Amino acid sequence: MRVTKPAWVAHNAGEKKARCPIYSISVHPDGTRLATGGLVDHKVKIWSTLPILDSEAEQDEANHKLLCTMAAHTGPVLAVRWAHHGRYLATGSDDQVVMIWGIDPAGGGRLWGSEEENYENWKALTRLAGHAADVVDLAWSRDDSMLASVGLDSKVCIWDGQSFRRLRELDLHQGFVKGVCWDPVGNFLATQSDDKTVKVWNTEDWSLVQSVSKPFETSPQNTFFRRLSWSPDGAFIAASNAMNGPVFVAAVIEREGWASDISFVGHENTIQVAAFNPRLFFRKEDEPGRATASCMLALGANDFSISIWRNTLHKPLAVLKNVFTNDLLDLCWSNDGYQLYGSSADGSIVAISFTPDEFPELGAPEATDKVLSEYEYHPKYQRAGSVNPVSATASMANGFGPASTPSTVVNILQPRKGKDKSRRINLSNGQNPSRSLQAPSADPFSAPIQGFANASTAQASTARMFEDAHNAFSHGQNGESSSSPRAGLKRKAVLFSDDEGRAVRGRIMGSTQNGQSAPVEILRAPKLSIASGSYTTAGSATLPVPQIQSLIRASMLAEEGNGYLEAQNSSSASGVNKLVFARDDSHQWVNYLPSAILALAVTSTFCAAACEDGSVHVYTVAGRQLSSLRLPAVVHDIQGCNTKLLIITVDAQVRVIDTRKGSVVVHPTSLAHLLQSPATSSGAALEIKECALRPNGVPIIVTTEPAAYAYDRALAEWIVISAPWWFESSPLSSNSVGPMGSVDRTVRSMWKGKKRDAVGEWWDEALAMGHYESRIKACILLDSDEEYQDWLIQYVRYLGNEGFLERAEEVIQELMGPIHSFAAAVKWEAKIVGLDKRAVAQEVVETLSRTKSGQELAKEYGTTLKRIADDERWS
């Protein structure tokens, strides 16, 4: 046994580059890569295992240590898990999102804003949004047909391994769910929660098979994870964070009958993670089978140690004490069964390597398949490896689709727009080749990566992965991915029968550039004097003017497409400034402006450029000019959303226009008073931290107070939607998914204060109701229907349980509207944030009926709502 702790494997954060905890670790199926997730830096890193396992290779500078850094998450990365076929990496984060990554062989290069260089480019292929709180653990089913995610919202989400649509949501846990694992046979899924249970679910109908609680009745709740593991022979589950009297143990839950009478004993503190070696063990004289198989288990605990067990022995094979200086957070085995990796809250990892001499009874991969086949389980769910016609349409809508021919492994997620710089097309001749809609004859992903790699096959397995990924990401001669079965098959609506005639779209203004951008430089400050400008009055607030840079680029949102708008400013104030719009990695049109460009905005419907002379030029994505505005002040920032354009000028004026209608959405209004320091502060001038625009045209301003405001057009005033007062005083948390939750988390991240203690009678009740009411109003203003419903239901539930029925009655009456017939039409809006008010009222009444004090009120208004629904005059 060899123990290695590579000091260079680290996640660093802050000015001092201090180590931050590594919350999760996972080794690639071919054993050549290691993925880690960081707490403070919010990054996923992929490391080469060669310099970890080989000291000579570590000294050779030709062997890259850090292969890739991915920074798409906006919160701590709590779980990283490779799919068994090795082509996907799934990551879960505090930002409530599961991210799916795939390798792009044509990518690489220096990470933006960092000294780190990516020798491999793992791209974020899709994000799975379904959780309302931290995603704590992930697990792929053995055949990669499904992915399970669990989190601090007490939910379990099941995702399809091909289309990544959500198949099921399980919500029977009553506490944070902190661990998940699949039955290797495929029949069950196990989850472990702070409600002190392990629940076993049937994967056919997702019914609850068993809830095991006895080993966890006295278990502590101070661990962040409860990572459990299912044995590779399917016989039992090893569950962490169990107790046997006063002793910390890992509980064994047997498949037959779900008994939990056996446990692994020996650690001096809470066991946080259990991980089975994926290979089975057989004595040399035994024929491989269920009766003769044995398993190896590694346990990691908060006593900073690791223990390794065989289920046929009464004491551990090895105990590694004080491996770390802080809690052990994750463990994983390599597929060949000889390496064990662990990560810790102290920011380091450990690699424990064994030799074939130490594991003489290690079975072949085929032996595991033979043992599992003895269960004779045949899943009803469509497994990866064949096309599921039911999900084909849904998958295409997400930018990837089924293979044209059956495949032996899971289909690879194909990005909407791939790129291969080595095959860039020169379109300067004005020709626009038509698209090829011919599907290839073979699926480039049909050759699977070897499931259980060893030293002799790891390189071949990796090479095959790169070759398959290259075929998926590369382009044919027409700029489409001609070798992938998922490229070019998505068709748009046909308005004419002559397909060939419609394929010719005319000239585009292609560029002869080689795509290599020069370093971005600050050229100069704009030629103006804000202090003496005609738009500046004494004592008024002014915002910073953007510096003139040599290169500026704004990109579309990922869901809108793969397009960007780029400005190339001249180094001379009298020079010509170039504006370029590119889509699908090809330049579509070019324009030239006489004034240097300060800021850009681009959406799927328009492009906008703000210039040094105070002008703002707006174009369609085809390059047709929609308007050319001349503002009374230079632009501080611009933002786009759908057809709306937000403009903030340096004189602290905000305006919103509809670029397609050519109309004003928000007339010029001042935000200067939002930047005045509160009386309780140090008096330092406030700044705009972020600005955003909602699809309904409502601008959002986040200041460094910290606070957030949205403009209410009906009142013609700014409304406070998030402020320090709620964070320091309200008992409510901010865990909603949507624009309001995002704003709350942004403001909270800047807040440096402390929670107040209750200072008066009815403190908690008054603050809770006020916070609910503030959030509900904000959700209406931001047109966030899901958040509105969530907060409204929580608010009504609170009112019913606490007995504040007069407020609950007002809510129902406002939603219910008039209950009498009038000769003249009554001005009453039947919808709120796009929802039918009376349908919402019915949901409110049903919620109230399940509260402590609201049954009678709910019964009364339930009857009234039924009469309204039955009366045709209100239909």
Q: What is 289-323 written as a DSSP string?
A: STTT-B-EEEEEETTS-EEEEETTSSS-SEEETTS
Nearest CA to 274 among 256, 248, 312, 292? 248
CB-CB contact of 185 with 377 (8 Å): yes
Residue 371 has a pLDDT of 92
CB-CB contact of 181 with 228 (8 Å): yes
Query: Does residue 171 lie within any of the structural domains?
Result: no
Phi, psi of 529 (to 5 degrees): -120, 105
Q: Annotate 366-400 with DSSP letters as a single string.
A: HHHHHHHHTT----SS--TTS--HHHHHHHHHTT-
Give the total number of structural domains in the chain: 3
H or E segment and range at residue 795 = helix 785-802
Separation of alpha carbons 573 and 580, rounded Å: 19
Find all residues with CB under 8 Å of 413, minimum gap 6, and list them.
88, 100, 102, 125, 126, 164, 399, 400
Tell whether 218 and 340 lie within a shared domain.
yes
Q: Is 56 helix (H, G, I), strand (E, B) or coil?
A: helix
CB-CB contact of 263 with 215 (8 Å): yes
CB-CB contact of 69 with 112 (8 Å): no
CB-CB contact of 279 with 337 (8 Å): yes
CA torsion through residues 39, 41, 45, 48, sign: negative
Residue 312 has a pLDDT of 86
Q: Annotate 448-490 with DSSP letters as a single string.
A: PPPSS--TTTHHHHHHHHHHHHHHHH---TTSS-TTSTTSS--
Residue 490 has a pLDDT of 32
Query: Does residue 424 lie within any of the structural domains?
Result: no
Residue 476 has pLDDT above 60, yes or no: no
The strand ranges marked E within 28-76 are 33-38, 44-48, 66-70
pLDDT confidence band for 491 (50 / 70 / 90): very low
pLDDT confidence band for 123 (50 / 70 / 90): confident
Residue 758 has a pLDDT of 75
Find all residues with CB under 8 Å of 139, minimum gap 6, and list them.
81, 147, 148, 180, 181, 182
Separation of alpha carbons 280 and 528, rounded Å: 74
Residue 775 has a pLDDT of 93
Residue 622's CATH number: 2.130.10.10
Angle at alpha carbon of residue 19, lines to 4 and 86, rounded to 5°: 60
Tell whether 223 and 366 lie within a shared domain.
yes
Tell whether 658 and 799 lie within a shared domain.
no
- Residue 551, strand partner residues: 568
CA distances, 694 to each of 713, 734, 740, 743 (Å) = 13, 20, 11, 12
Query: Does residue 629 lie within any of the structural domains?
Result: yes
- Residue 127, strand partner residues: 99
| Distance, CA of 506 to chain centre | 39
User: Which residue would you say has higher pLDDT here, 592 or 115?
Assistant: 592
pLDDT, tens only, 139-177? 999 999 999 999 999 999 999 988 899 999 999 999 899
- Residue 321's domain comprises 213-376
pLDDT, tens only, 45-88? 999 999 999 888 888 888 889 999 988 898 899 999 999 988 89
| Distance, CA of 503 to chain centre | 37
CB-CB contact of 111 with 69 (8 Å): yes
Largest CA distance in the chain: 95
CB-CB contact of 252 with 285 (8 Å): no
Domain boundary among 609, 641, 670: 670
User: Which residue would you say has higher pLDDT here, 268 or 295?
Assistant: 295
Domain boundary among 328, 359, 376: 376
Query: Does residue 481 lie within any of the structural domains?
Result: no
Tell whether 354 and 232 lie within a shared domain.
yes
Query: Does residue 689 lie within any of the structural domains?
Result: no
Residue 832 has pLDDT above 50, yes or no: yes
Query: Does residue 111 lie within any of the structural domains?
Result: no
CB-CB contact of 566 with 582 (8 Å): yes
Query: Does residue 273 lie within any of the structural domains?
Result: yes
Query: Does residue 709 lie within any of the structural domains?
Result: no
Domain boundary among 653, 670, 687: 670
CB-CB contact of 47 with 67 (8 Å): yes
Separation of alpha carbons 873 and 875, rounded Å: 6
Separation of alpha carbons 158 and 160, rounded Å: 7
Highest-scoring range by mean pLDDT, 9-18, 252-261, 673-682, 748-757: 252-261
- With a pLDDT cut of 90, the percent of the chain lying above it is 51
Pairing relationship of beta strands 197-202 and 188-193 according to DSSP bridges: antiparallel
Read off the pLDDT of each residue in 600-626 and give the average, rounded to a whole number.
95
